[in-house]
Structure 1
Amino acid sequence: MPQEAVDPFLISVTGVRVLARYYLELTFDTGDIKVIDMELLMWGPVFEPLRADYLLFCQVAADPVSGTVVWPNGADWAPDELYSKSKAAVPD
């Protein structure tokens, strides 16, 4: 049965957990569970503290207001980018 196309601009992250160093498991409001390696994506001043301090990185949370992942230092990531750059946690 073909899957319906997902509009990435209407996607929200509803859950997140750290799997391993800089790897996140993301749950989306579509029901999809995907995995992403954030290490190479985190560049620039707001992400530097997360690269330097793994314990800070592990404080990631899913914000129900913004619909994406956020960190205590104010860093966040667009949910449509997270969706498009991540891979299914369990391949089809």
Structure 2
Amino acid sequence: MSYYLDITDVKILAGNWLRLWFSDGAIIDVDAGPIIATGEVFEPIRSDRAVFEAVAVNPESGTIEWPGEVDLCPDVLYGRGEPASGKRFERRVVRPAAGAPA
């Protein structure tokens, strides 16, 4: 089954970790550190904690976004794809999707 997942909420955790709530009921913690570690577009996010903490859900696109319209793909954050950069990052499933095997 293939369908698009939306991120419905985000919470900043310690370090560069984010807790993400997905439209299928899953809650997944993601280490955004490796994602934002390189690339000019991420420079303001990695160099200023206040900018990192300004992350919010964009309800129109169903993903998270920082100031400057810097966003990340929900499928990659969920674990259904890999970042275009090829940089892997750690994720922890806090709660699996509704109806998923435990």
Q: Check if 1:89 corresponds to 2:83.
A: no
Q: 1:26 aligns with which of 20, 23, 27?
A: 20
Partner residue of 2:74? Answer: 79
Structure 2: which 5+ residue stretches go unaligned?
80-88, 97-101
Give the drift of 1:73. Answer: 2.1
Q: 1:90 to 1:29 in 2, by over 3 A?
A: closer
Distance (whole Å) between structure 1 residues aligned to residue 95 and residue 65 of structure 2: 24
- TM-score calculated relative to the size of structure 1: 0.84
Structure 1 residue runs of 4 or more that deviate by more than 4 Å after TM superposition: none
> 1:64-90 CA distances to partner (integer Å, 9 max, x unpaired)?
101100011221001100100632025
Structure 1: which 5+ residue stretches go unaligned?
none
Give the drift of 1:48. Answer: 1.1
Secondary structure of the corresponding residue to residue 70 of structure 2: coil
Give the drift of 1:36. Answer: 0.3
Determine what percentage of the aligned residue pairs are the same residue. Answer: 37
Superposition RMSD on alpha carbons, in Å?
A: 1.7
Q: Identify which range, 15-24 or 77-86, moves more after superposition.
A: 77-86
The answer (yes or no) to whether the contact 2:26–2:95 under 8 Å persists in 1 is no
Q: When the two structures are aligned, how many residues end up with a matched partner?
A: 86
Distance (whole Å) between structure 1 residues aligned to residue 62 and residue 27 of structure 2: 15
